[in-house]
């Protein structure tokens, strides 16, 4: 396939690593299409007040997926928890929950390990442990349905809110001019979502705090780019999917909360990652987004 001259090259190291992990997939997936369903992938460290109610909320969604004829699993990647409540919880999780321990935290690498090594279904959701879906039990099923009814989409994110009701995330865009031209931002952060807002809308990218993607596309781009330490890997993933001809959309499924930075210190922006993003994707953004 001829590559557009403006397109940045794939990260060969990342693709090679994805292929290596893929060879270690569960035996039932070898040489067979993934069954229709959702694999939810969560990274966590301690924080019983976050991970326990989140997993309980997800497990409560399982009957909805079963009624729809969809598979459902929760994959927890633990990066070194020592909290006794968390450890005790792990010992009693139901069969649809798998806990993978002993991970050394790096967002892209850990999520890749869980997906390529353990995910069974044809759709994956990468979910932060500080997202609260309890009050919108059909939100994840609605995300899957949006992907099903719009074949041109590759990625779906949720509109997320702060506890005070203001918007935390309604899509990601880039600055169109000025000194930050090309850098990413949340254009509707701390705004009130208008009542007339559509149920879903297209966006340049969505946050990795709640990012659903077709598994075939995640494999095709080699997963999250592990060159990023803490930031930009979600936007880079969405752009890589766009490069394959699929779009990204945001779904408003009601007040799903995101306790932003609940597990990350405030003011810890990673400018090295942002500069890396501009080196790898600046030309693409200039050609196709600005």
pLDDT tens-digit profile, the chain (290 residues): 233 323 333 334 455 544 544 444 443 445 578 999 999 999 999 999 999 999 999 999 999 999 999 999 999 999 999 999 999 999 999 999 999 999 999 999 999 999 999 999 999 999 999 999 999 999 999 999 999 999 999 999 999 999 999 999 999 988 877 877 777 888 888 999 877 688 999 999 999 999 999 999 999 999 999 999 888 999 999 999 999 999 999 999 999 999 976 555 555 566 788 888 888 887 887 776 55
Half-sphere exposure for 289 (CA within 13 Å, toward CB): 28
pTM for the full model? 0.87
Report phi then psi at 121, rounded to 5.
-105, 175
Q: 168 with 259: CB under 8 angstroms?
A: no
What per-residue confidence (pLDDT) applies to 15? 52
What per-residue confidence (pLDDT) applies to 287? 74
What per-residue confidence (pLDDT) applies to 23? 43
Query: In the chain, count of helices (H) and strands (E)?
Result: 8, 12
Q: Which domains does the chain have, with CATH numbers?
A: 12-288 (3.90.550.60)
């Amino acid at each position: 396939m001829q590559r557009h001259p403006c397109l940045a090259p794939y990260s060969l190291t990342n693709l090679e690593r994805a292929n290596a992990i893929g060879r270690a997939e569960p035996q039932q997936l070898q040489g067979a299409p993934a069954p229709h369903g959702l694999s939810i992938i969560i990274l966590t460290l301690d924080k019983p007040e976050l991970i326990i109610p989140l997993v309980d909320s997800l497990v409560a969604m399982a009957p909805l997926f079963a009624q729809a004829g969809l598979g459902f699993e929760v994959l927890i990647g633990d990066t070194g928890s020592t909290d006794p409540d968390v450890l005790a919880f792990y010992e009693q999780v139901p069969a649809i929950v798998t806990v993978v321990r002993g991970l050394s935290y790096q967002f892209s690498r850990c999520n890749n390990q869980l997906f390529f090594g353990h995910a069974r279904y044809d759709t994956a959701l990468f979910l932060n442990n500080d997202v609260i879906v309890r009050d919108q039990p059909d939100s994840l099923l609605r995300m899957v349905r949006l992907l099903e009814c719009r074949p041109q989409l590759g990625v779906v994110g949720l509109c997320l809110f702060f506890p005070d009701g203001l918007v935390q995330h309604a899509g990601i865009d880039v600055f169109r001019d000025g000194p930050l031209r090309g850098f990413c931002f949340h254009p509707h952060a701390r705004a009130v979502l208008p009542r007339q807002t559509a149920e879903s809308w297209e966006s340049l990218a969505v946050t990795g705090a709640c990012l659903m993607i077709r598994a075939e596309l995640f494999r095709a781009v080699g997963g999250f780019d592990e060159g990023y330490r803490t930031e930009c890997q979600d936007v880079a993933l969405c752009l890589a999917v766009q490069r394959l001809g699929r779009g990204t959309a945001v779904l408003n499924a009601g007040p799903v909360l995101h306790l932003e930075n609940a597990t990350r210190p405030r003011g810890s922006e990673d400018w090295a990652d942002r500069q890396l993003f501009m080196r790898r994707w600046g030309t693409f953004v200039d050609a196709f987004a600005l």
